[in-house]
Amino acid sequence: MDNLNDIGVYRDQTVRLADLTTVDDVLERLTFENCDVVGPAVVVLLGDTQVTDCHWTGDADAVLWPAHGRQQVVGAIGLRNCLVTGSRFHRVGILVADDQLPAVRAGFGLA
């Protein structure tokens, strides 16, 4: 992948999530710094994934997908133990556990 500075580190580039999930639906231990992350996709934040100083395009009600008690889903992309900073998400939704929805809305500036 062009601009892949270190194994698992993406900086200052456009990253299409579908291109990273051809073999597995869970992306592990990746870092995205100042990237444009492009869908269409729905992500699930797993493990110790940290997302800071990012922007998600779209209305909060369109971006945040309540899990409605589901423990498993098919077709979503898991981000496990990833670090995402200063990036912009385009056409990407977030599947969120119902009890975490208010905190996620506030944390992502979507309240």
| Mean model confidence pLDDT for the chain | 88
Q: What are phi and psi of 64, to 5 degrees?
A: -90, 120
Residue 30: name the closest of 74, 77, 68 by CA: 77
Separation of alpha carbons 102 and 111, rounded Å: 8
Domain that holds residue 12: 4-107
Count structural domains, the chain: 1
**pLDDT for the residue 110:** 65
Model confidence at 16, pLDDT cuts 50, 70, 90, reads: very high
